[in-house]
Structure 1
Amino acid sequence: MKNFTTVCAVRRSKVLIVLLAGLFGLMTLVNNFTDYTAYSDYIGQIISMSNTEGNESRRYRAITSTMFHHRFYWAIITLETIFTFSCLIGTYQLYRKLDASRNEFHEAKKFGIAGFTTAIFVYQTLYIIILNEWFDLEYSAQRNAFEWARNNIEYMFLGLIYLLVAKDN
């Protein structure tokens, strides 16, 4: 390492932030595949509203088709795969450009940006808007993924902002 400057530290921290998002996604995917039945059943219970409490007036929203449950869960897995590999590729691209010019380093951010944005889409749209607001996820009697999804959105959103805003020239 030449001279360890603030710019050097900022660039390395951006690589780390994108890498951590990618590692989170990788662990999430491992869980999704190794315990597919448990997670698929959980998503199915939310969509069928079979374990939510205190919402009788909204039960018409329930979808009991197991085919739909699996397809919805596969949509989640597919988008999580896109975000994970975008972040991992983004980490590699940023790492390769650590000592490059400002413009080259900035251009290397595109996969990280795509990864963070896809993650925000997954957790905000699929978990918060659809599963929580439409299918009453937060009223689930068993377990509630609302806080988990919100925490993921916060990390991904802050990571995206940091990747784009902090001075790294």
Structure 2
Amino acid sequence: MNTDAHSLEFHLADEEATSELGARLARALDSVKSEILEKGLNIKLVGDLGAGKTYLMRSALRALGFEGRVKSPTFSLLETYKVDGFTVNHFDFYRFEDPVEFEEAGFRENYGPGRVVASEWTSKAEPFVPQPDLTITLKNEGDGRVCDISADSALGNQVLEVLKK
């Protein structure tokens, strides 16, 4: 793990390492639950197809206690999960042809207090998507992956501090 004031870099050798990072992310989210309940938390997921964005979220959801099926939102656009004390909304905007589709679909109501929102292909819905608190970038590298997590807000910095431990 490499670190600076507002970002962390993890080298993930395999799926197990990605699962462990998902569990760490879950612990970090749980540590800021009161802020999530008050304001919500937005995560921008960045990476090519197959980079592990959904796998990371699945691992975090499992660590948060969700026991049901965790699907990629590529075709449904949104998958919603109830976990201990808050809701996780997982978006995938890959199929958007125009950012205004975000507003037309009424997706803004899925953001805010009591919600963690993780969105893939966020650039296809900008400028309508609320600003992220965290940006998680996954890149394939050799047989593994590199994951960069950067804070985009004070709340994001709180999450990073827990992830450093």
Query: Under a length normalisation based on structure 1, what TM-score does the superposition of the two structures give?
Result: 0.28
Decide which structure has greater helix share.
Answer: 1
Decide which structure has greater strand share.
Answer: 2
User: Bigger radius of gyration, 1 or 2?
Assistant: 1
Query: Under a length normalisation based on structure 2, what TM-score does the superposition of the two structures give?
Result: 0.29
